[in-house]
Amino acid sequence: MPLTGTVATQPTDPASDLSALMDDLIRPELVHRRLYTDAGLFDLEMQRLFGATWSYLAHDSEVPNAGDFVRRRIGRRQVLVVRGRDGQVRGLLNRCTHRGTTLVTEDRGCRKRFTCPYHGWGFELDGRLAGLPVPDSYDRLYERPFDLGQITVAAHRGFLFGTLAAEPIPLADWLGPALPWLDAHIDRHPGGRLTVLPTPIRQEYAGNWKLAWDNAADGLHATFAHRSYNLLGREADTETVLARNPAHTPMISRTLGHGHCVVDQRPGITGSPWDTMRPLPTCSDLAAGLTARSEVDRSLLDLATGNMVNLSLFPNLIFVGNQLMVVEPVAVDRTRLSYYLVLAADAPEEINLMRLRVDEDFISFGTPDDLEMFERVQDGLGIAEEEWIDISRGDGAGDEVDAAGLVTGGISTEAPIRGYLAEWKRLMARPTPMRVRRSRVEAALNRLTKGE
């Protein structure tokens, strides 16, 4: 296909069917630069994509007690993930129902209720209006929609996801073929118990959020973009798996539907995951102390590293080693990455201390390479006359497609990019009906459906 053809500028009306425009922007092996540079398309993503599908919100372990909350985002919407007195976790919109003030500016905390700083309205942990000054100034106060808006929240084994879709597909169906990969990630922790540390490491780059997705399953770039990191490993004589000639490595990448994908590096290593780690500060002492204990199996050391499997759940969660990387779009050319460090709740303390050292390592010496590449791509895409980005690698040249249309390829296939863009296109073509829920309305609906 020739790399030519100008895409007409079309209106991005929130209600319109934009299938034709989307077909124009995303072709079988090409994608138009406007996906990364057009502020109108970015606005549309904030309305049609984020909120219309499930997004990762938080992990159960971050809100263990009643009143605990964390503040997260789905697109431009601030969401308070709150554990109620009934033990249930809800997603409340951080927006006072009086005149719109955000109720909370902290990223986490514990409250008995949420009180608006502007005129003092108070809300229960389940979002119900709990009181306001001069209640007599309203006619039929509790019949007005003053309870806080809520999104739908569902959990898979402690991982909490949220959506505003009026009729969301079940979370397990949305995870689909990604579900066993998520379970495997959870199951490698003793007892399946994870603790997510509450304060993330944050990085921002001057580029579009989808550059992080283009990179999520890009096994090819590691050999080149992370050359200095690979040299550190080579000098330490460790298994530098990403430094290999990408033409001769059996690692695989696989699309998993709904834009999800996974890269499995394990077929590419000869030893264990622990053997891929070069020496890090304090780690050899911690490992020696641990393995000196008679009851400890040496394979436990693998728990200190990542599992060599990068799972990506579109549109905002990427498992990187032992971290949960959350992708937060800020503007068409600005993105925030939040890395939540995960501990194995029932593992020996040495393992969790080693996890922290391992987690710091790639963020410090590897991720800056990625961010520089993202910013350089964004800069390059500023050349309006060069319209197209090629995403054809692997298609017809090594990729295998199963009966369900899921693609398995080698480390350098761009099938995961084509996969998430197909989901992007599906969500962006037509608006998904959305709904804000409210405690009292939901309770009334539940009573009706139960015939009370």
- Complete DSSP assignment for 3-37: S--PPPP----TTS--HHHHHHHEETTEEETHHHH
Least CB distance to ligand FES at residue 101 (A): 4
| Cβ contact 148:95 at 8 Å | yes
> Cβ-count burial of 430 within 10 angstroms (0-12 exposed, 13-18 middle, 19+ buried)?
middle
Q: What is the residue whose two structure tokens read 């406007």?
A: 34
Does the protein bind ligand FES through residue 96 (CB under 6 A)? yes
Does the protein bind ligand FES through residue 326 (CB under 6 A)? no
* Of the residues 116, 320, 341, 344, which one makes contact with ligand FES according to CB under 6 A: 116
Q: Which residues within the stretch 121-150 sit at the binding site for ligand FES (CB under 6 A)? A: 121
Does the protein bind ligand FES through residue 101 (CB under 6 A)? yes
| Cβ contact 46:35 at 8 Å | no
The item of Fe ion, ligand FES, none sharing an interface with residue 101, based on CB under 5 to 8 Å by kind, is: ligand FES
> Which ranges constitute the DSSP H helices of 129-273?
171-175, 179-187, 210-216, 221-225, 227-235
Does the protein bind ligand FES through residue 119 (CB under 6 A)? yes
| CA distance linking residue 182 with residue 45, whole number of Å | 26
Q: Which is nearer to ligand FES, 84 or 122 (CB)?
A: 122
| Cβ contact 428:44 at 8 Å | yes
Least CB distance to ligand FES at residue 95 (A): 9
**Candidates 46-54, 61-69, 98-106, 284-292 — which segment interacts with ligand FES by CB under 6 A?**
98-106
Measured distance between the N- and C-terminal CA atoms of the chain, rounded to whole angstroms:
62
Q: Which residues within the stretch 260-299 sit at the binding site for ligand FES (CB under 6 A)? A: none
The item of Fe ion, ligand FES, none sharing an interface with residue 68, based on CB under 5 to 8 Å by kind, is: none
- Within 10 A of 128 (CB to CB), how many other CB atoms are there? 17
The item of Fe ion, ligand FES, none sharing an interface with residue 99, based on CB under 5 to 8 Å by kind, is: ligand FES
From 302, 305, 287, select the one nearest 350 (Cα to Cα). 287
- Complete DSSP assignment for 433-444: PB--B-HHHHHH
Does the protein bind Fe ion through residue 370 (CB under 5 A)? yes
Least CB distance to Fe ion at residue 258 (A): 23
The item of Fe ion, ligand FES, none sharing an interface with residue 370, based on CB under 5 to 8 Å by kind, is: Fe ion
The item of ligand FES, Fe ion, none sharing an interface with residue 119, based on CB under 5 to 8 Å by kind, is: ligand FES
The item of Fe ion, ligand FES, none sharing an interface with residue 118, based on CB under 5 to 8 Å by kind, is: ligand FES
> Which ranges constitute the DSSP H helices of 133-282?
171-175, 179-187, 210-216, 221-225, 227-235
Give the Å distances, CA to CA, from 18 to 31, 35, 223, 427. 16, 14, 39, 10
| CA distance linking residue 113 with residue 255, whole number of Å | 43
> Cβ-count burial of 355 within 10 angstroms (0-12 exposed, 13-18 middle, 19+ buried)?
buried
Does the protein bind ligand FES through residue 113 (CB under 6 A)? no
**Candidates 63-71, 250-258, 344-352, 364-372 — which segment interacts with Fe ion by CB under 5 A?**
364-372
Does the protein bind ligand FES through residue 99 (CB under 6 A)? yes
Does the protein bind ligand FES through residue 151 (CB under 6 A)? no
* Of the residues 13, 14, 118, 349, which one makes contact with ligand FES according to CB under 6 A: 118
**Candidates 108-116, 127-135, 290-298, 363-371 — which segment interacts with Fe ion by CB under 5 A?**
363-371
Residue nearest to Fe ion (CB): 370
Does the protein bind ligand FES through residue 98 (CB under 6 A)? yes
- Within 10 A of 279 (CB to CB), how many other CB atoms are there? 11
The item of ligand FES, Fe ion, none sharing an interface with residue 121, based on CB under 5 to 8 Å by kind, is: ligand FES
Q: Which is nearer to ligand FES, 98 or 357 (CB)?
A: 98
Q: Which is nearer to ligand FES, 116 or 304 (CB)?
A: 116
Q: Which residues within the stretch 381-400 sit at the binding site for ligand FES (CB under 6 A)? A: none
Least CB distance to Fe ion at residue 53 (A): 25
| CA distance linking residue 229 with residue 363, whole number of Å | 11
Token pair for 233:
């490993």
What are the φ and ψ backbone dihedral angles of 44, each rounded to 5 degrees?
-65, -35
Give the residues lining the site for ligand FES (CB under 6 A).
Answer: 96, 98-99, 101, 116, 118-121
Binding residues vs Fe ion (CB under 5 A): 370
